[in-house]
Amino acid sequence: MARPQPYDRTADPSRPDGEQAAWDTPSGLVAMYAPTALVPYYRITWGNPQEGTSAGRYFDRAWAKALAREQLILSGATPRTELSASAGIDYWLSPERPKPKGTWGESHTKTMTYYATRYFRPVFGSVRHLDLRRSHLQTAVNLAPTESEGRNVRRAARSLVGALRQGDYLLETQVIDLGTVWWHGVRATTVVEQGDGPVDFVPRHQRPTHDQVRALREAMTARRRRGRKAWRALAVELAAYSGVRRGELAVLDDATVHTDGRIRVQWRLETIGGPHLAPPKGNKRRWTTYPQVTPTGFPLAEAIEHRLAEIAQERSAGTNPSGLLFPSERGTWLLGGNFHRDVFEPAALAAEWPFRDEVKPWGAGKTRRQRTWSLTWHSLRHTFVTWQLEDLGQPASRVATLAGHESAEFTLRRYVSGAKDDIADSLAALGWEGHPALPSYPPARSYG
């Protein structure tokens, strides 16, 4: 390795005249030292404990670096701002980092770790924190394959930037505005074989039968009731034979449920960020219907009329000011977690709905037993769609409207069949016997 050449003052015309060998920047935060026989370069030092670096062989360039360093210090630079963004990403993912809403769950941690590996580190993992800009985050968001995934990456990026500020990895004056960061990726068009799309087919064992609906309703009725809980049986039958989702069911009131068989679904209960009203799933407000008597023999129309009369009395007494069909004990919205724990699970156990016990990780080195239901409250919605299509023979387009699906094709693929063996069933219905198995084709090519 070549030895550094001695400093030549005559080759450094920008150095001030005189024998001065050290200079301080205007605010006195950085000191610059002239070259010596042992160290033939200018050096700048700052901070406590002291840090320093070589600034080159010429005064003007070294002085410019000293002034730039002072500006960084005035802007809140710390040793961490000099590190690459990978160090800040590690801090963001660290279980020890204080978080606004407590520790992350296992699933959320896995998701954020995936985003860091897939999107953040490849784009700006080697960039110094003080050089991090909005454009780096925009590039990471654009790597997402779909618009919905891009929204998730953007939310993760907002969390990351907040953690970097929390850990003093960014300058105080460093602005990274995510307000204008949106997914600008390419919407690819993919050609697939029929039945290979992203819509999940709902198998028969995940659709409660009429007998299972009846058992759940009777279990609701048999349970010891406290306060206003006579509506539990009504909630089961209405969910199973009107297709109203649980969040939508929670906000139904005496103005949206009519005695002529109609229900207006205008809102759902959203709990993220605190309980509040939000448009229904897919922003699809709709009308749906309910029968006078359900397939389980329950007089649904009569029960609704009776419940609406109760609501009028509750409004007068001030115990249900919003006129909710299914209120909490305090006359407010019944939250999903409370509903599942206090209402659904005890009745489902009594009705012998199928479930399995699983052991799940819980904290560091711990586990817990968890009951996983094969049929859930949402499964009652599958009963509604199957009943409409198969028992009543309603066209898929009408059922899609009642259920709030995006299209009739979605309804058919989700409930009638999304399986590849449809053609085999068709051949059997036409009397063809012993037909060969269908060939498997290579994956369809994707065209951008």
Which ranges of 293-432 would DSSP assign to H, the alpha helix?
300-317, 336-338, 345-350, 379-386, 396-403, 408-411, 422-429
The answer on pLDDT for 408 being more than 70 is: yes
Q: Is the pLDDT of residue 324 over 90?
A: yes
Q: Over range 61-80, report the average pLDDT.
A: 82
pLDDT in tens, 176-204: 888 889 898 776 555 545 445 566 788 88
- pLDDT surpasses 90 at 140: yes
Residue 9, pLDDT score: 86
Average pLDDT, the chain: 84
Q: Which residues of 244-272 are buried (b: 16+ CB within 10 A; e: fewer)?
A: bbbbbbbbbbbebbeeeeebebbbbbeee
Give the pLDDT band of residue 434 (cuts 50, 70, 90).
Answer: low
Does residue 173 have a pLDDT over 80? no
For the cut 90, the answer to whether the pLDDT of residue 304 exceeds it is: yes
Strand partners, 257: 263
pLDDT of the residue at 5: 82
Structure confidence at residue 170 (pLDDT): 87
Mean pLDDT computed over 316-334: 88
What pLDDT is recorded for position 224?
Answer: 54
For residue 442, pLDDT beyond 60: no
Mean pLDDT of 356-375: 81
Give pTM, 2 decimals.
0.54
Nearest to 267 by CA among 292, 288, 250: 250
Give the rounded percent of residues in the chain with a pLDDT score beyond 90.
Answer: 44
Using 50, 70 and 90 to split pLDDT, how confident is the model at 357? confident
Q: pLDDT tens digit string along 209-261?
A: 999 999 999 998 886 555 446 688 899 999 999 999 999 999 999 999 999 99
For the cut 90, the answer to whether the pLDDT of residue 3 exceeds it is: no
Residues 6 or more apart whose Cβ sits within 8 Å of residue 88 = 80, 129, 160, 163, 164, 167, 169
Give the closest residue to 131 by CA, choosing from 58, 72, 185. Answer: 72
Q: Which of the residue ranges 67-76, 137-146, 432-441 would you say has the lowest mean pLDDT? A: 432-441
Distance of alpha carbon 286 from alpha carbon 292, whole angstroms? 20
Q: Between 398 and 68, name the one with better pLDDT.
A: 398
The lowest-confidence range among 5-19, 167-181, 196-210, 389-403 is 196-210
Note the pLDDT of residue 197.
53
Contact 260, 237 (CB under 8 A): no
* Mean pLDDT calculated for residue range 256-267: 93
CA dist., res. 94 & res. 101, Å (int): 15
For the chain, the maximum distance between any two Cα atoms, rounded to a whole number of angstroms, is 108
Residue 447 has pLDDT above 50, yes or no: no
Length of the chain equals 448
Closest CA to 191 of 406, 422, 421, 448: 448
**pLDDT score of 302:** 94
Contacts of 211 (CB under 8 A, 6+ apart): 296
pLDDT at 430 over 80: no
Alpha-carbon distance 407 to 411, whole Å?
A: 7
Task: Determine the pLDDT at residue 406.
Answer: 87
Range from 91-105, 209-223, 296-310, 432-446 that averages highest in pLDDT = 296-310
Contacts of 94 (CB under 8 A, 6+ apart): none
pLDDT at 446: 40
For the ranges 117-131, 192-206, 431-445, the maximum mean pLDDT occurs at: 117-131
* Choice among 204-208, 319-323, 418-422 with the minimum mean pLDDT: 418-422
State the pLDDT confidence band at 398, using cuts at 50, 70 and 90.
very high
Mean pLDDT check: name the lowest of 96-105, 158-167, 247-256, 434-443. 434-443
